[in-house]
Structure 1
Amino acid sequence: MNLRDYPVSYDELEPFFTQFEKVAGISGYAGNLNGEIREGGNPFEGWRSEDFPMPPLPTTYDSSKFRDAASAMGYHPFPAGAGIASTSYVNPYGMQMGPCNFCGFCERYGRYQYSKSSPQTAILGALKRMPNFEYRTNSEVLRVELAEDGKTATGVTYWDEAAQEEVFQPADIVILSSYQLNNVHLMLLSGLGEAYNPLTGEGTLGKNYAYQMNGGISMFVKDEEFNPFVGHGANGMIIDDFSISQNDFGAEGFIGGSYWRSGTFNGQPIRNMPLPKGTPSWGAGWKQGIGEWYGHAMSIGSHGSHMAYANNHLDLDPTYTDRHGRPLMRMAFNWHYNDLKMNQFMKRKMEPLAVSMKPDVMQAGFKDIGAQYDVRPYQTTHNTGGHIMAENAREGAVNRYSQTFKAHNVFAMGAGNFVQNTQYNPTGLVGGLAYHTVHAIRTQYLSNPRPLV
């Protein structure tokens, strides 16, 4: 394992987490408000200086059923924090959000009521009002251009699709914010650090690529109705009783943890058709299964951590190139025993809870020891690492302010900064680190451009 600590503390980041939650418009209920543990919230979370901007969204029947069963077993259920408005809201930039109406088409769709915490809803409208802001569509940045001494960037070269030509855009500061995978690719192509070598451990770009380790149990109940058209993409009740901070690693024999969630996320036809194993996958038998079980299924999901390993990494492919002639990025990745053992631990703990809910049919979906990574089934889109944070250039690609060690006027945002993937979705930490970085740029860097320490 390539385990590392972050060069910035939770206490330092807390004000920026709070700022991000206000801008994004997050609904939820704080479990630790200035050190006071509050009933109904997450008792294991870090302290918060303020409650969420909006109260939590209502619970669906399946999440309420899970909440009651978890409480009966002595666990601590709480409503999931959601980047979805529970009421009308205006964020610090003056952007408006309307309350979610649980339409069942939230996940992977836009919202005409502007309920979802997307950049389009929360930020871009305010940016467009600023006279010094411009964005260019149908453009793809090909590389960051460095000065002759390699210590700063002079700008970026991008491909203008309409003009079918390369364009150089000069810049005093370059901020890479094009998702973790593309950030790493651009940094490798631009020489913004040394490529990681898994055999020697030298280099940092592409290092500590990590993912997430998930599992879950589906339950089918003939005489109970779970209306899948009442839900949203961040719905559910959660327990953190088996989170990474709650497990005895020495006793259990693994490092890591998981949160559990239950709730209805969407009611999309065809896409959301959970059926018991053995049901035909097409034809009359499939239709009969849908008629019998649609709306009679619920699930509990385990959303687990994934450690960083020496062999899991990203680099430039020696053979294949894209349409611009640039080497494609190559991923070397597989599951490891540690994370699979953590996953099996969650299965053993979750099954008694599921049994207590008295389903007619119950089926578990957890990766077994020895499972190999398969890119085909969708699991998550939460890729992390590759331009990790560190105290020095020997261990990471960026410093505590997301500033690259190679060129001090290049900043890399996003989950590529994560040193490992510790169970929760990356968004909160991505947002907190972004505002931490922006604060440093405004208060320290602009008046005196230099490597920040």
Structure 2
Amino acid sequence: MNFQIKPSKDSYDVIIVGSGAGGGMATKILSEAGLSVAVVEAGGDWDPAKEEDRTQLRFPWESPRRGASTQIRPFGDFDAAIGGWDMPDEPYTRKNGTQFDWFRSRMLGGRTNHWGRISLRFGPDDFKRKSIDGLGDDWPIGYDEIKPYYDKVDRLIGVFGSREGMRNEPDGNFLPPPKPRLHEMFLMKGAKKINVPIIPSRLSILTRPINKDRGVCFFCRQCNRGCQVYADFSSSTCLVKPAMKSGQVDLFTHCMVRKVTSDDSGLATGVSYVDKRDMKEYKLKGRIVVLGASACESARIMLNSKSKVHPDGMGNSSGMVGRYLHDSTGASRSGIIPELMHRKRYNEDGVGGMHIYTPWWLDNKKLDFARGYHIEFGGGMNMPSYGFGSNMDAVRKHILDEFGQPSPNGGYGEGLKRDIRAMYGSTVSMSGRGESVPQYDNYCEIDPTTVDKFGIPVLRFHYNWTDNEIKQAKHMQDTFEELLINSGAKLLGTKPGVETQYGLLAPGRIIHEVGTTRMGSNPATSVVNSNCQAHDCKNLFVADAGPFVSQADKNPTWTILALSWRTSDFIIKELNSKNL
């Protein structure tokens, strides 16, 4: 679909940059309130129900690469992710030898097209961590203030789960969860032996109908490819496209925003963007600008939005734009359960993700690190993808000798097929996703000497894990090993040690970055207020994960959606009161 390059209106009520979770929710709520909205997206249109975009239920041989990854399809040719950590025309830099891998999504709906749909609410403690452990800062809002918006998001989008009554894992308005699969039952049995809780997952996938526009999950286990019946949540199919039906929304695709423009008083007047198709610069005018481009991209836009009133970038009088960048921690381990070898073949696909997970269950006061993590489980007999069986040498080395000699020709041909069939469905994995402590010295800033293809100055990153995160990763690995062994699994690979920071992935690899435009009551130490409104510019708002004061041991998407809805309601109220 080709969208217009030039604006169809002289001016809009609201310009929204980015169409992911935050931008998509703002688009829906503000357009339904009768406001004229321009959505500016750096990627192209995307609709998994359209034949040209559909990757669901396609076989590997339908791709010239058999589904393998490319630079801009980092999770494979069939995954609904266009973007990546290494974009050919959009570099970024690092300083002082530190590591941060920045993922950008370049498609309508952003990262909500290919995420795991893990839809967890932050709990009461997650907003007040400093009061608990003395580290970081408390949010200026608490759970009670955001709970009504979590409830609204549950009803609008749909999330399955179970009511467990866990104080810091708040229950939602759940649809019925799918039953655990066989490998998950083994893991549940092992977890019970060591008092590790396992409960049904909470994923935004419809197991029951909620409206006439979306279908119900048919359990093909390919949510990462984008659902052609819209049974899983993505911002494009559930928020942006429905909002466009109102006629209140104009969509500008393939448009890289350079900066937020402003007048002599410092108020935002719109945005300036470069159209990727003709490499020309255009401007959109608007009464209000909402940045939902992702935490780092929104910070980049604000830092590049310099003027006489905003000499260090719009909203940056405190010098805090880009500061306190942090990502979830991540580490993993896998094993093979001998009892699941030579399994009978049957369809156990289920939803595109885990049916069970482990919420944080321990008291940090009794541990040597702050904050917690949850555990995500994988395994089962999903459709083999490109590269399936590529780790067979490692599997044979660690496992097959315990069950007799491998096939004579196991390295290739008929023997390899025989071994793969024997192992198929017997491997299990687990990954920890944890909370890191925000640090002032973990940040992104504008590189003074580097620009992208579009002439826009790029970000430069500085980031280091602290002892808290490294000790947390060690605890993950100890737990994974104990849980796998008690589930009857044989461990694969060598347990990561201190030399690899216990398998702790580089920051940015979990794609949960938050905190670059943190909220707070004090304009000297924060960028936006509790309504995600810039302290320095009353008609500039941030609707992505940038305003997060801290990241919980939960995935951020549900909180981005709830905060964006809350911010949108505030914008409507302020407009009605003529304060904007």
With the shorter chain as reference, the TM-score category is 0.7 to 0.9
Alignment RMSD (CA, Å): 3.1
Secondary structure of the residue aligned to 2:287 is coil
Partner amino acid, structure 1, of 2:240: L
User: 1:330: how far off?
Assistant: 0.9
Give the aligned partner of residue 511 of structure 2: 381
1:239-258 residue pairs with structure 2 within 5 A?
A: 239-242=358-361, 246-249=362-365, 251-258=366-373
Cα distance in 2 for residues equivalent to 1:228 and 1:208: 45
Give the aligned partner of residue 236 of structure 2: 120
User: 1:362: how far off?
Assistant: 4.3
Cα distance in 1 for residues equivalent to 2:463 and 2:252: 34
Cα distance in 1 for residues equivalent to 2:479 and 2:503: 24
What TM-score results when the alignment is normalised by the length of structure 1?
0.84
Partner amino acid, structure 2, of 1:63: E
Cα distance in 1 for residues equivalent to 2:277 and 2:262: 26
**2:173 paired with 1:51:** yes
Partner amino acid, structure 1, of 2:459: M
User: 1:104: how far off?
Assistant: 3.2
Secondary structure of the residue aligned to 1:98 is coil
Q: 1:390 aligns with which of 504, 520, 523?
A: 520
Cα distance in 1 for residues equivalent to 2:474 and 2:390: 22
Cα distance in 2 for residues equivalent to 1:189 and 1:228: 52
1:148-227 residue pairs with structure 2 within 5 A?
A: 148-150=264-266, 152-191=267-306, 194=312, 203-224=319-340, 225=343
User: 1:139: how far off?
Assistant: 1.9
User: 1:78: how far off?
Assistant: 1.2
Residues 418-445 of structure 1, C-alpha deviations (whole Å, 9 max, x = no match): 1222221111111111111111112234
Give the aligned partner of residue 270 of structure 1: 386
Q: 1:346 aligns with which of 462, 472, 476?
A: 476
Partner amino acid, structure 2, of 1:13: I
**Percent identity at matched positions?**
22
Q: 1:285 aligns with which of 411, 422, 425?
A: 411
User: 1:332: how far off?
Assistant: 0.8
Cα distance in 2 for residues equivalent to 1:177 and 1:272: 36
User: 1:87: how far off?
Assistant: 2.2
Residues 220-275 of structure 1, C-alpha deviations (whole Å, 9 max, x = no match): 12331497971433323122243xxx4233x4221111111224486441255574
Q: 1:423 aligns with which of 545, 553, 562?
A: 553
What TM-score results when the alignment is normalised by the length of structure 2?
0.66
Give the aligned partner of residue 354 of structure 2: 235
Q: 2:222 aligns with which of 105, 109, 115?
A: 105
Which 4+ stretches in 1 moved above 4 angstroms? 192-196, 226-229, 271-274, 362-367, 372-378
Give the aligned partner of residue 248 of structure 2: 132
Residues 261-294 of structure 1, C-alpha deviations (whole Å, 9 max, x = no match): 224486441255574773599x963773645433
Q: 1:47 to 1:300 in 2, by over 3 A?
A: closer
Q: Give the aligned length.
A: 423
Q: 1:24 aligns with which of 157, 165, 183?
A: 157
User: 1:193: how far off?
Assistant: 8.5
**2:438 paired with 1:319:** no
Give the aligned partner of residue 34 of structure 1: none
Secondary structure of the residue aligned to 1:171 is strand
User: 1:377: how far off?
Assistant: 10
Q: 1:78 to 1:372 in 2, by over 3 A?
A: closer
Gapped runs of 5+ residues in structure 1? Answer: 32-36, 38-42
Give the aligned partner of residue 65 of structure 1: 186
User: 1:390: how far off?
Assistant: 1.0
Q: 1:365 to 1:185 in 2, by over 3 A?
A: farther
Partner amino acid, structure 2, of 1:24: I
Partner amino acid, structure 2, of 1:165: K
Structure 2 contact 372–553 (Cα < 8 Å) conserved: yes
